[in-house]
Structure 1
Amino acid sequence: MCNPGTWDLTQQARQVMEAVRYLETTNPNIEHFLSQCDAYLAFNDDATVKVFVSDVKAVILDACSAFLRAPAADISAYRQLLQKLARRRVRDPRLKVFTTNYDMCFETAASDLGMMTIDGFSYTRRRRFDGRHFSYDIVRRETEGHEFAEGVFQLLKLHGSVSWSRDGKEIYEDAAPTPANACLIYPAKGKYQQAFLQPHLELLSRYLEFLRQPNSCLIVAGFGFNDDHLSEPIFSAIQSNPSLKLILCDFQCIMHLHNRGFHGSSDYWGRFHDLARRGLDIHFISGSFSDLVSHIPHLRTASPAEQLANAVKRLGGQNS
């Protein structure tokens, strides 16, 4: 809340901290602060605190949307990831992307690449969320039959999106939701409880289902393991699902492993490290999301023409 342009909000925060009795000033935590505000408002009709919480939510909405409109916005790593993993053999299961981010990076990258995203919303004029859509797929119909289309992946936004709004009991795609109707799990200690409300419950259940599937690989990048409702299922699944492979990537990975739950690092890092030392299929990568993507191989199957071209190249290399 100290970014340029939010000075007034920072000034309000100091007043609100006193009102809700949030005393942690040395290492303030926005989740704890907003949780304190919610708890205070549950018993106090304080217009100042209400306006402040609404303003904070508006800042979060804007911050998670505006950066993609900036000329210097770089989502090349997202495009590369989809190019490498989503364009796989059509007989293989679809790539599933689970994210707690609110932004539209994956949707924008998919649009840039001409890929199709199955995100749980209908393909009607006003797109409405219905978990049944994750069971649908996209096929290419030919004269003599049909086959699954390439470049299709599932996107499950576990904590909501800046493009979702709530209208009564329904969730719709919305280009400009307000802080009041945006369908997001905002930073707060109560995220665990909110995750069991729709549509988050539907998304969470599919996340849990994926972790139990045989021969699956879960790549985790940039996740701090501070959300127990998402971290504990991974910790449980890697022990009960013998074919699950787990790859953990973070640019501070080494520090987290050494901290073992102290100095701001989640204790899950140490617990996963202990399991890896016992021989479970867990691998650690110290690097950024871009670093990770650069090392992922292409899973796309070569077409007959590409296979022929590759064979000719290999033949040429042998004869040179």
Structure 2
Amino acid sequence: MCPEEPNRLSERAANIADTVRYLERINPNIEHFLSQCDAYLAFNSDDGVSAFVNEVKALILHACSEFMNSNTSDISAYRNLLQKLARRRVRDPRLKVFTTNYDMCFETAASDLGMVTIDGFSYTRKRRFDGKHFTYDIVRREADSHEFTEGIYHLLKLHGSVSWSREGTEIYEHAAPSPENACLIYPAKGKYQQAFLQPHLELLSRFLEFLRQPNSCLIIAGFGFNDDHLSEPIYSAIQSNPSLKLILCDFHGIPHLHNRGRHGSSAYWGKFHDLAMEGFDIHFISASFADMVSHIPHLRTASPAEQLANAVRRIKGGA
């Protein structure tokens, strides 16, 4: 097997790296690079570095927005996940999806399925973020009764979204926010501090609240555990909440477990492995997100007609 060609900085990026004294030139880490730029700008006024950082943020915003318009984009795994987990019994708690991704995959998948996304934004013409909207729900009201509607789920985008715009102290939904106004926690070591600003603080607090709920199951897919403000609460919760179930899925799951914090893998993989060996309810799946979703059973409630058909099958099977 031929070794992969290492990633290298462009000439312009290398010049900026020289200015801010960023030393990783082979397989550079964008988070470390931008963190070094931010640290440099905190003490220096440099138009060149500022322009470079703004252009990188614009590229990130564009890349996370435009790929959905490509003919090659495939969000079938997102649709399958929502079909299987969001259409649960109406008396069960709503499915909660926590994501650090900026893209619109879940919103688009839900729209394709005719599902409703409760994302913390109002239902007014100009949608404004307010955490109280997570406490709202949708019911089907008849003349003398009402019941909760199927196909509703909660989406909490912990690091913001390509469709969020910050206008003063308020956050609004916007089809194409500018890089300056986009409400995103861009890759940087400073994301820990940014997570304690609104609306991220509201979303993070709801994530922490979920980790304390009894009989909860947290499925983690494609998360590298490089964000300490999220990794440490999960690590603490699995030890303090005896009924919390944790399923960790990653395409490189096995190498991560063996690396134990080396070769670019987070040390948390080793920590979770140690807890699993001690008997904590932690399970590891080495698979892609799509492969994992394909093995999740349907939790959809059977309709009265389906219940009748199932009963007939059982009777015929026992005859």
Whole-angstrom distance in 1 between the partners of 2:197 and 2:181: 15
Letter in 2 for 1:262: R
Q: Which residue of 1 aligns with 2:179?
A: 179
Secondary structure (helix, strand or coil) at the match of 2:98 reads: strand
Q: Which residue of 1 aligns with 2:157?
A: 157
Q: Which residue of 2 aligns with 1:241?
A: 241
Mapped pair 1:205 → 2:205:
yes
Structure 1: which 4+ aligned runs deviate by more than 6 Å? none
Secondary structure (helix, strand or coil) at the match of 1:59 reads: helix
Structure 2 matches for 1:223-262, cutoff 5 A?
Answer: 223-262=223-262
Q: In the TM superposition, what is the alpha-carbon distance from 1:164 to its structure 2 partner?
A: 0.2
Q: Which residue of 2 aligns with 1:80?
A: 80
Letter in 2 for 1:98: F
After TM superposition, the structure 1 stretch with the greater mean CA deviation from structure 2, 99-108 or 25-34, is 25-34
Secondary structure (helix, strand or coil) at the match of 1:219 reads: strand
Q: Which residue of 2 aligns with 1:111?
A: 111
Whole-angstrom distance in 2 between the partners of 1:185 and 1:111: 25
Structure 2 matches for 1:19-30, cutoff 5 A?
Answer: 19-30=19-30
Could you tell me the TM-score, scaled by structure 1's length? 0.95
Q: In the TM superposition, what is the alpha-carbon distance from 1:317 to its structure 2 partner?
A: 4.4
Q: Which residue of 2 aligns with 1:191?
A: 191
Letter in 2 for 1:186: Y
Q: In the TM superposition, what is the alpha-carbon distance from 1:96 to its structure 2 partner?
A: 0.3
Secondary structure (helix, strand or coil) at the match of 1:297 reads: coil
Structure 2 matches for 1:1-320, cutoff 5 A?
Answer: 10-318=10-318
Secondary structure (helix, strand or coil) at the match of 1:162 reads: strand
Q: In the TM superposition, what is the alpha-carbon distance from 1:12 to its structure 2 partner?
A: 2.2
Letter in 2 for 1:129: F
Secondary structure (helix, strand or coil) at the match of 1:201 reads: helix
Could you tell me the TM-score, scaled by structure 2's length? 0.95
Whole-angstrom distance in 2 between the partners of 1:18 and 1:151: 52
Whole-angstrom distance in 2 between the partners of 1:271 and 1:171: 37
Secondary structure (helix, strand or coil) at the match of 1:218 reads: strand
Q: Which residue of 2 aligns with 1:4?
A: none
Whole-angstrom distance in 2 between the partners of 1:113 and 1:289: 19
After TM superposition, the structure 1 stretch with the greater mean CA deviation from structure 2, 13-22 or 126-135, is 13-22
Aligned length: 312
Report the identity percentage. 79
Letter in 2 for 1:52: F
The answer for unaligned runs of 5 or more in structure 2 is: 1-7
Secondary structure (helix, strand or coil) at the match of 1:96 reads: strand
Q: Which residue of 2 aligns with 1:3?
A: none
The answer for unaligned runs of 5 or more in structure 1 is: 1-6
Q: In the TM superposition, what is the alpha-carbon distance from 1:27 to its structure 2 partner?
A: 3.5
Whole-angstrom distance in 2 between the partners of 1:316 and 1:67: 50
Letter in 1 for 2:236: S
Whole-angstrom distance in 1 between the partners of 2:19 and 2:143: 69
Q: In the TM superposition, what is the alpha-carbon distance from 1:316 to its structure 2 partner?
A: 4.0
- Deviation by residue 1:65-120 (Cα, 9 ceiling, x = unmatched): 11110112110000000000000000000000000000000000000000001000
